Structure 1
Amino acid sequence: MNILLIHQYFLEDDDAGGSRWNEITKTWVSQGAQVTVLAGMVHANGKEKRSEYKGKLYKKKLQGEVAVWRCHVSEAYNKNFIGRLWGYFSFMFSSLWAGLFKVKGNFDVVIVTSPPLFVGFSGYCISRFKRIPLVFEIRDLWPESAIDTGVLRSKPIIKLAFWFERFIYRKAKLINVLTPAFRTALIENKNVPADKVIFIPNAADFSLSDSLLENFDRQIFRSKNDLNDHFVITYVGAHGVANHLQQVLDAGKLLEDTNVLFLLIGQGMEKEKLKKMAKERQIKNVRFLDPVPKQEVFKYIISSDMGMSVLKKVDTFKTVYSNKTFDYMACKKPILMAIDGVSRELVEQAEAGSYIEPENAEEFNRVIRMYINDQGRIVEEGVNGYHFAKENFDRTQLAKKYLALIKDVLKK
């Protein structure tokens, strides 16, 4: 099978961040598939465009056995909302041109993963031109999440986004959703036929965590990174409007009399603002770290006492699974889950941590103090999460299932 994937945020080999699709494509190649990716030139969390892409519209690279075409994304992406929007549209146009005229080969299927939603236009046009099925994946309910967080306010753009969402759902032969709540929303609220919707969620990467759990010296790493004598709670992910990490600063202020240390690893548009806020409020127990490669991320998680998943308190986020939750599980760490809805249900079903009401610093304070002196609970919930994820969210097994479902579409 020859697969064309359109993913604006497909990672470079040395990028930090969620590597779900990098791992899925490797599994597919190991199963005999050929994979070509149309990807953007700017990292999802606003890193500067790499020097190798400056002044270029396209560049082809090999990442393992996966052929990756890096397509132009406007550098205005980093500046503001209008720049970000133009970054989306510039990739939509550049990926469409690449898919139609640059990339050679007879593809069996084109897969688009969203957000951004408008990249679905590229996938639709390529599917029509090449007469192949379109598979559309929803990683986030967009535009709802952008509206709820206040990022998207323009009524004409909102109207266009909802129209295009309905259009692309009609044209896709298969739609993958990452949470059961997304499935319910599509079938019950957006009238998408149930037989068109599949569920291949975010998952845990045990290929890396199992090796580190067996061979990694946690104590040496803690000493080297000034983590000794701290109760370390690690957050890995974006520092954006949707994450509302100010709630972590508020919790840190209330926990100043303890040995709690919050590690915030990642990048995003709000990061400098958060660092300035922490300095002005003299919050000493929150430490900001730049993004690091996934192996380093796992070392930090294993060296921590707990992992933390955090989002803004809006109804749309009750439908999402936090990607890093599965990494915490794979590393046998209990989870502080400051996201209501399906993410809360996941942690409670697995008995792998505790729910905290988002944006409620007093609840952060109360729950964390319960854990500080209860090492037995920390170990038990970490093991619970590991086994639950191993049974239900193994990325390799889910990638194989995903490929099998796509093959079924081609047969029909």
Structure 2
Amino acid sequence: MRITLFHQYFLGKNDPGGSRWNEFTSFFSKKAGFITDVIAGNIHYATGKKILPNTWSNTEKVDEDITLYRTWTYSGYNSNFVGRVIGYLSYTFSSLLKALFLKKPDVYIVTSPSIFVGISAIIVSKLKRVPFIFEVRDLWPESAVATGVLNNKILLKILYWLEHRLYKYSKKIVVLTPAFKENIEKRYPEFIDKIEIITNGADFSIMGEEHKGSELRKKFAWGDKKVFTYLGAHGVANDLMQVVEAAKAFKEYDNIHFVLIGDGMQKKLLKQKASEYNLKNIEFIDSVPKHEVVDYVNASDVCMAILKKTDTFKTVYPNKVFDYMSCKKPVFVTIDGITRDLINEAKCGLYAEPENLEEFKKVVDKFLNMSDIELKAFGENGYKLVKEKFDREKLAERYIELIKEVSNA
């Protein structure tokens, strides 16, 4: 079985970021013997930096059954909204050209964001008469509207039209959360039978027992402080300024330290504000490779997942939450909806209303006053649930069966 995956942000070796598809393709090879051609962009989504020299196409053998092709992508991706759209479109057309010259697969898989890459999938699917699966990792254009990034009525009309065409021409629609499924069914009831849920999850082969958490605490001289850590993008949607403001509120406390790990458009502003406040209790660390995430999570006492207050974000499961739970760490979320429900179901952490700084500070204070026994109980509870329901190896097995079904249809 051969598949071709369109994924603009597929990670390279040791790249930081979301590794859902790096892990899935590896499982596909090991468990089912699938051969996978991955067509990816050449700009990292968090840093906006080139991954390889910006030639027309670069080829990398990930392993025996996985070949990664990086195609030309506009380098102004992280400059502003217009730059980002041009970045999306440049990848869309360069990936299409690459796909036309690759060996015909049994199934195409296209994963958003961005939704523009769906153009490539529709065209190459029709030309080569190969079915495709459309995976919705982000409800575009819904999320762009919710965060205020997109409000151009003409562009929105085009994007909603494209969204409908993708659902129409795909053989299956894979969504990452039950809320995504509900959203699509409500707006497009004619596609109910196509939708399958395959969530994010934890890769226990990476987020295992072995880690260097203690060594990191010594390296950064965190001592006995309670360390509150956030790992991920530093963008508009992440609203990390409230962490800086919370650090200011706890400025005189000597038993707390905030750590923000990652990159993004807002990082420079966040660092400037922390410097303006003369904060010594907040630390900024550049993005780390996935295999080192386990060390930083285990070096922490409480791990944070933060997003802006929008209805769209009530429908998401940030993958970092599963990483935190798999390392038996208490979770602090400011994400309402299904993520809040997940934390409550697992009894593995606390919730604060998004963009409510006073509530944010109260929750930090609650964690500060918890005993080690209480924090450990949160961690154990989270691990139990994520192991039972969100083990990425089991999720990969479900995907394998879906691909076989689509190829035989």
| Matches for 1:42-191 after TM superposition, within 5 Å | 42-50=43-51, 52-54=52-54, 56-65=55-64, 66-101=66-101, 103=102, 105-191=103-189
Q: 2:306 aligns with which of 296, 302, 310?
A: 310
Once the two structures are overlaid, the 10-residue window that deviates more, 192-201 or 250-259, is 250-259
Partner of 2:39: 38
Q: Is the 8 A contact 1:186 1:192 kept in 2?
A: no
Tell me how far apart the structure 2 counterparts of residues 42 and 110 of structure 1 sit (CA, whole Å): 22
Tell me how far apart the structure 2 counterparts of residues 359 and 192 of structure 1 sit (CA, whole Å): 36
- For 2:53, give the aligned amino acid: Y
Q: 1:400 aligns with which of 382, 397, 402?
A: 397
Q: Is the 8 A contact 1:320 1:342 kept in 2?
A: yes
Q: Is the 8 A contact 1:333 1:385 kept in 2?
A: yes
Partner of 1:380: 377
- For 2:153, give the aligned amino acid: K
Once the two structures are overlaid, the 10-residue window that deviates more, 34-43 or 259-268, is 259-268
Tell me how far apart the structure 1 counterparts of residues 403 and 49 of structure 2 sit (CA, whole Å): 35
Partner of 2:271: 275
Q: Is the 8 A contact 2:258 2:281 kept in 1?
A: yes
Show CA shifts across 1:147-197 (max 9, x none): 111111222111111111111111111000001100001112232422200
- For 1:253, give the aligned amino acid: K
Partner of 2:350: 354
- RMSD across aligned positions (CA): 1.2
Q: 1:334 aligns with which of 330, 334, 342?
A: 330
- Match of 1:204, SS state, is coil
> Normalising to structure 1: TM-score of the pair?
0.96
- For 1:86, give the aligned amino acid: I
- For 1:57, give the aligned amino acid: W
Tell me how far apart the structure 1 counterparts of residues 58 and 2 of structure 2 sit (CA, whole Å): 20
Is 1:220–2:254 an aligned residue pair? no
Partner of 1:237: 232
Q: 1:257 aligns with which of 247, 252, 258?
A: 252
> What's the CA shift for 1:257?
3.2
| Matches for 1:23-34 after TM superposition, within 5 Å | 23-30=23-30, 31-34=32-35
- Match of 1:228, SS state, is coil
Once the two structures are overlaid, the 10-residue window that deviates more, 347-356 or 254-263, is 254-263
Once the two structures are overlaid, the 10-residue window that deviates more, 273-282 or 231-240, is 273-282
Change in 2 beyond 3 A, CA 1:192/1:309: farther
- Match of 2:324, SS state, is helix
Is 1:344–2:340 an aligned residue pair? yes
Tell me how far apart the structure 1 counterparts of residues 226 and 41 of structure 2 sit (CA, whole Å): 38
Tell me how far apart the structure 1 counterparts of residues 318 and 49 of structure 2 sit (CA, whole Å): 25
> What's the CA shift for 1:256?
2.1
Partner of 1:12: 12
- For 1:63, give the aligned amino acid: V
Q: Is the 8 A contact 1:173 1:409 kept in 2?
A: yes
Aligned residues: 405
> What's the CA shift for 1:247?
1.3
For structure 2, the residue ranges without an aligned partner over 5 or more in a row are none
Is 1:3–2:23 an aligned residue pair? no
Show CA shifts across 1:221-265 (max 9, x none): 211122212110111110001101111112212222332211111
Tell me how far apart the structure 1 counterparts of residues 251 and 403 of structure 2 sit (CA, whole Å): 52
- For 1:141, give the aligned amino acid: L
- Match of 2:237, SS state, is coil
- For 1:68, give the aligned amino acid: L
Show CA shifts across 1:277-300 (max 9, x none): 111122332211100111222101
- Match of 1:3, SS state, is strand
Tell me how far apart the structure 2 counterparts of residues 151 and 284 of structure 1 sit (CA, whole Å): 33
Tell me how far apart the structure 2 counterparts of residues 243 and 217 of structure 1 sit (CA, whole Å): 27
Tell me how far apart the structure 2 counterparts of residues 355 and 231 of structure 1 sit (CA, whole Å): 18
- For 2:63, give the aligned amino acid: G
Once the two structures are overlaid, the 10-residue window that deviates more, 250-259 or 356-365, is 250-259
- For 1:228, give the aligned amino acid: G
Is 1:411–2:408 an aligned residue pair? yes
Tell me how far apart the structure 2 counterparts of residues 64 and 262 of structure 1 sit (CA, whole Å): 38
Once the two structures are overlaid, the 10-residue window that deviates more, 253-262 or 224-233, is 253-262
For structure 1, the residue ranges without an aligned partner over 5 or more in a row are none
Q: Is the 8 A contact 1:264 1:287 kept in 2?
A: yes
Tell me how far apart the structure 2 counterparts of residues 262 and 371 of structure 1 sit (CA, whole Å): 13
Tell me how far apart the structure 2 counterparts of residues 282 and 313 of structure 1 sit (CA, whole Å): 28
Tell me how far apart the structure 2 counterparts of residues 218 and 241 of structure 1 sit (CA, whole Å): 29
Tell me how far apart the structure 1 counterparts of residues 373 and 189 of structure 2 sit (CA, whole Å): 47
- Tell me the percent identity: 46
Tell me how far apart the structure 2 counterparts of residues 142 and 280 of structure 1 sit (CA, whole Å): 36
Show CA shifts across 1:310-352 (max 9, x none): 0011111111111100000111101001100011011111111
Tell me how far apart the structure 1 counterparts of residues 272 and 201 of structure 2 sit (CA, whole Å): 34
Q: Is the 8 A contact 2:262 2:286 kept in 1?
A: yes
> What's the CA shift for 1:217?
4.8
Q: Is the 8 A contact 2:48 2:75 kept in 1?
A: no
Tell me how far apart the structure 1 counterparts of residues 50 and 232 of structure 2 sit (CA, whole Å): 20
- For 2:378, give the aligned amino acid: E
Q: Is the 8 A contact 1:46 1:77 kept in 2?
A: no
